[in-house]
Every structure is written in C-alpha cells, then in structure tokens.
Amino acid sequence: MGRITGEFAIEAMDLENAGNVSSFIKKTLIQEGIAKPIVKRVSIAIYEAEINVVIHSYGGVCKYEIDDEKIFVRFQDTGPGITDIEQALQPGFSTANNQAIYYGFGAGMGLMNIKNASDEFHISSSPKGTTLDITIYSK
Amino acid sequence: MKVLEILEKIKGTIVTTQIADVEFDGIYAGDLLSHVMGHAKEKNMFLTIMSNMNTIAVASLLDLPVIVLAEDVQPTKDMIQKAEEEGIMIITTTKNVVEVIRHIYAE
C-alpha cells in the first residue's frame, strides 16, 4: 500500500463531532484491506484518544501514518496537561466535567482502553500539552 | 437473532428507514461510552439510554448493527441521518433496559 499519512485538527469540547477522526481512519484501514481485529483495536484506541483531546484539552492535532507494517498515530494537544499520569491510567479515575459526563464520557476507562488496544503506547505531559503516541502493528 | 423476531416483544419502533431487518448476536447494555468501547463485541445489540452523536460513533466503530434506545429516549434527526449513513438501525422503546433484555430472552 505504500505509506498513507494525514492530519486532523481536533477542537476542544466539540462533542458532536468527536469520533470523526477515528471514523475516517477506520474507513481508510478497511479500504486498505487491514484485518478486522486490527481495525477494531485501532478504532478503539483512536476514538478514546480523540475524545480525550476533545474533553480534556484546549484542542490539538492528530497525525497518522499507515504503512505495510503498522498504524502510528500521534495526538498532540496544547494543554493543560495531565498532573499525574499514573493516576490518570487507573481505571475509574476521571476529571471529566459535567458536560462530558452528560454525553456519556468520564468513565475513567479511556487511557486504559488505549493501552490495552495498542502494541506501543507512550504518553508525556506538561502544562503546555500532552503527546500520546499509539502504534499498532498490522502484521 | 433477527430484529424483526424481537421487535414486538420489546414493543419497539424502528426509527431509521433504510434497513428493514438486521441480524444481531447478543446484547451489550451500557451508557458509559468507554465501557462500551472496551467491552462490546461485534454484532452486539447496543442497548442504552445514551442518545447523542457519540452513541452512533461508538456503534459504527465497533460494528454494532442496532441501537435500542430504552425508556422512550428519542434520537435527534442528525443521529438518525448519521445512523442511516453508517448502516445502523435505531429502535426506540418505552421499556427500560432490564425489561428489554427479559423480553428478548423470554421463552
């Protein structure tokens, strides 16, 4: 397939459009003939990461790279950052606001779902922003 | 299981128009979308009271063919349109989640 790359801007608190990035990438992977279990894992990881940028950050970007071996996605936002990453990874821990909860978010399962769905998962954070790298191998 | 086999049992109304019947395999009931993302299986019926565009997004990403909105929760026009684009059926019912499950599996 060669190499497919792309980039999306993600708006803070744009809850109605949350899911567009994951939906687009899922469709791309299906078109490229990626196996269904892989597509499912990518969909879960990217959706959760996308939601995190929407409900927790001031906005950010998602860059993706698909090649013959893997799907790599980087989410980069502009803050305010995660105070304690270890705590944020605990199932059930959430800092989601009421509006996000009203939309069905805030279960405190997002990062855990991403970690479980990914082959490689790196997160770094400061008050200036959070960067999350997800790699899922397709072979 | 086919939706048309259980529609009368749950007193359901199909609010999408493009698909006449849908096959599903088991039910996942839940409202917190990350739990659904983490646990629902392909082809499950998605039984929920959470009605917004994200409900459709989750169903689409996980290949859940039918959403049942319990307790008379109604979808918006945008939701119905999006569901139709994604080939997902939406059903509404006045019954609650427990009643829906009981009626579907009642002998």
DSSP class of A16: T
pLDDT per residue as tens digits for the range B16-73: 998 999 999 999 999 999 999 999 999 999 999 999 999 999 999 999 999 999 999 9
Return the residue of A nearest to B51 by Cα.
Answer: A103
CATH of the domain at A70: 3.30.565.10
Which of B32, B37, B51 best probes binding to A when mutated, by most A CB atoms within 10 angstroms?
B37
Decide: helix, strand or coil at residue B40. Answer: coil
Beta bridge partners of A64: A6, A73
Measured CA to CA, the distance from residue A41 to residue B61 in angstroms comes to 10
Count of CB pairs separated by less than 8 Å, A with B = 75
What ipTM did this prediction achieve?
0.90
DSSP class of A79: S
B34 touches chain A (CB under 8 A): yes
Containing A72, the helix (H) or strand (E) segment is: strand A70-77
pLDDT per residue as tens digits for the range A17-74: 889 999 999 999 999 999 999 999 999 999 999 999 999 999 999 999 999 999 999 9
Non-local (6+) Cβ contacts of B63 within 8 A are A40, B42, B43
Query: Into how many domains does chain A fold?
Result: 1
Query: Into how many domains does chain B fold?
Result: 1
User: What domain range is B44 assigned to?
Assistant: 3-105
pTM for the full model? Answer: 0.94
CATH of the domain at B33: 3.40.1390.20
